């Protein structure tokens, strides 16, 4: 009698493709399996014959794609007997690390930049019981300090320099291929440390079962076993990474010392996966570009307003860039495009409210006033 297996998370689904031993205690929260939503109103208004999908990673357990990497990193850390985990974070990594540490019963330290973290993310880290260390500095300072501390103390780093993080995050590419039955022509992502764009490329490459670049077949853990589905897909997408203009080291050709952007999740001037990201760009024949804060916020509003999908500002960088490249023809008509929406809009309520001018109208609690308020918009 056939039966449907309950979905319990990406480790159980992709066990054979992940570096997890069969007897490891899985630290999971049902992450992954996020919706791939086809946009309807935005492409119509754009007037271009392009299929745009958004991969809504904000629907992961802690509201960002970081959970995909964290379930693998924390499962491995616990399996290897780690006493505590630590990360530097612009917010989402700390929220995710804190939740998975809570699930594991492990101590979690997070270093966050003073004042530059979205409210929801801080609330999560605190509620999940992480030891939150706010530093008078930015993410790049935090990352440097975490590396230094981990050399001297028994703590496991769960930033994306932990290779297990990318292994977990590659599963987003698997899910997209499963849903589309093929790889998209273009895959657009916001880029901070560039771990996620690298992870997606690993995923597409493994599934494509080959290729010739250094990243392909470079899965150190599964000895090529992860080519299990090569029959389906032989083509990989062009990978396109968008940065915030005030925080765009890939566009400047080197580190940026004082990154600034409303998209705090990608406010990173010293990307940790610098070389990998350039390899992805070369191998996939993709590109990097930058989008302004105004473009980011406009795309975030448009998505929420026209499609019912609420993502955080950093996530909207992918759509902002894709829309511009579709309009200019750099992404040609007839293409299938996937934009990753990395985190949920509720993460950063302050930024949403700050740009909602005029949306809230206060009237007296009586019928005439309410009817007047409605009639004005009918």
Ligand X SMILES: *Cc1c(COP(=O)(O)O)cnc(C)c1O
Residue pair 209/235 in contact (Cβ under 8 Å)? The answer is no
Task: Name the residue nearer to ligand X (CB basis): 68 or 227.
Answer: 68
Task: Name the residue nearer to ligand X (CB basis): 9 or 190.
Answer: 190
Q: Radius of gyration (Cα) for the chain, nearest Å?
A: 21
Tell me the closest approach of the beta carbon of residue 343 to ligand X, in angstroms: 3
Q: Say how far apart CA 26 and CA 29 lie, in whole Å.
A: 9
To 10 degrees, the CA torsion angle through 146, 151, 153, 156?
60
Tell me the closest approach of the beta carbon of residue 234 to ligand X, in angstroms: 27
Task: Name the residue nearer to ligand X (CB basis): 109 or 139.
Answer: 139
Does 237 participate in binding ligand X (rule CB under 6 A)? no
Helical (H) or strand (E) element with 166: helix 163-169
Q: Which of 70, 248, 265, 337 is in the footprint of ligand X by CB under 6 A?
A: 265
Which among 319, 365, 363 is positioned nearest to 52, based on CA atoms?
Answer: 319
Task: Name the residue nearer to ligand X (CB basis): 203 or 343.
Answer: 343
Tell me the closest approach of the beta carbon of residue 221 to ligand X, in angstroms: 20
Q: Which of 28, 32, 142, 190 is in the footprint of ligand X by CB under 6 A?
A: 190
Tell me the closest approach of the beta carbon of residue 265 to ligand X, in angstroms: 4
Q: Say how far apart CA 287 and CA 81 lie, in whole Å.
A: 40
Q: Which of 34, 124, 193, 247 is in the footprint of ligand X by CB under 6 A?
A: 193
Tell me the closest approach of the beta carbon of residue 15 to ligand X, in angstroms: 24
Query: Which residue sits closest to ligand X, CB atoms considered?
Result: 343
Tell which positions 99-158 bind ligand X, by CB under 6 A.
Answer: none
Tell me the closest approach of the beta carbon of residue 42 to ligand X, in angstroms: 20
Does 192 participate in binding ligand X (rule CB under 6 A)? yes
Tell which positions 291-350 bind ligand X, by CB under 6 A.
Answer: 312, 314-315, 342-343
Could you tell me which residues come within 8 angstroms of residue 324 by beta carbon, excluding any fewer than 6 positions away? 289, 291, 295
Does 194 participate in binding ligand X (rule CB under 6 A)? yes
Task: Determine the straight-line distance between the first and last CA of the chain, rounded to whole angstroms.
Answer: 55
Task: Name the residue nearer to ligand X (CB basis): 233 or 322.
Answer: 322
Residue pair 123/98 in contact (Cβ under 8 Å)? The answer is no
Task: Name the residue nearer to ligand X (CB basis): 24 or 304.
Answer: 304
Structure tokens at 255: 């580190």
DSSP code at position 285: T
Tell me the closest approach of the beta carbon of residue 110 to ligand X, in angstroms: 13
Residue pair 287/248 in contact (Cβ under 8 Å)? The answer is no
User: Total binding residues for ligand X by CB under 6 A?
Assistant: 18
Tell me the closest approach of the beta carbon of residue 185 to ligand X, in angstroms: 21
Q: Which of 160, 162, 261, 276 is in the footprint of ligand X by CB under 6 A?
A: 160
State the SS3 of 323-366: HHHHHHCCCCCCCEEEEEECEEHHHCHHHHHHCCCCCCCCCCCC
Q: Which of 62, 138, 196, 261 is in the footprint of ligand X by CB under 6 A?
A: 196
Q: Say how far apart CA 146 and CA 157 lie, in whole Å.
A: 7
Binding site for ligand X (CB under 6 A): 64, 66, 92, 160, 190-196, 265-266, 312, 314-315, 342-343
């Amino acid at each position: 009698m056939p039966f449907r297996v309950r979905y319990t998370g990406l480790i159980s689904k992709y066990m054979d493709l992940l570096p997890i031993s069969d007897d490891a205690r899985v630290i999971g929260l049902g992450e992954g399996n996020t919706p791939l939503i086809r946009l309807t109103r935005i492409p119509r208004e754009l007037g271009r014959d392009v299929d745009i999908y958004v991969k809504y990673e904000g629907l992961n357990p802690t509201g960002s794609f970081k959970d995909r990497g964290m379930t693998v990193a924390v499962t491995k850390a616990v399996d290897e007997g780690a006493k505590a985990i630590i990360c530097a974070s612009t917010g989402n990594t700390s929220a995710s690390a804190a939740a998975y540490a809570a699930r594991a019963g492990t101590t979690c330290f997070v270093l966050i930049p003073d004042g530059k973290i979205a409210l929801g993310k801080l609330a999560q880290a605190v509620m999940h019981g992480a030891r939150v260390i706010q530093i008078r500095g930015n993410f790049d300072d935090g990352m440097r300090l975490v590396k230094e501390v981990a050399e001297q103390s028994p703590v496991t780093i769960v930033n994306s320099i932990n290779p297990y993080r990318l292994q977990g995050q590659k599963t987003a590419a698997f899910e997209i291929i499963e849903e589309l039955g093929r790889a998209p022509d273009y895959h657009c992502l916001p880029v901070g440390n560039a771990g996620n764009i690298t992870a997606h490329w690993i995923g597409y490459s493994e599934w494509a079962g080959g290729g010739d670049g250094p990243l392909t077949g470079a899965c150190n853990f599964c000895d090529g076993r992860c080519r299990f589905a090569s029959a389906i897909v032989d083509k990989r997408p062009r990978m396109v990474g968008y940065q915030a203009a005030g925080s765009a080291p890939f566009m400047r050709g080197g580190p940026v010392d004082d990154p600034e952007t409303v998209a705090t999740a990608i406010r990173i001037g010293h990307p940790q996966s610098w070389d990998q990201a350039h390899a992805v760009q070369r191998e996939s024949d993709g590109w990097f570009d930058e989008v302004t804060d105004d473009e980011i916020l406009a795309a975030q509003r448009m998505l929420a307003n026209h499609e019912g999908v609420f993502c955080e500002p950093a996530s909207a960088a992918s759509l902002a860039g894709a829309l511009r490249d579709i309009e200019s023809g750099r992404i040609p008509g007839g293409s299938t495009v996937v934009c990753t929406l990395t985190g949920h809009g509720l993460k950063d309520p302050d930024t949403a409210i700050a740009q909602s001018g005029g949306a809230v109208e206060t009237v007296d609690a009586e019928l005439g006033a309410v009817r007047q308020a409605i009639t004005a918009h009918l």
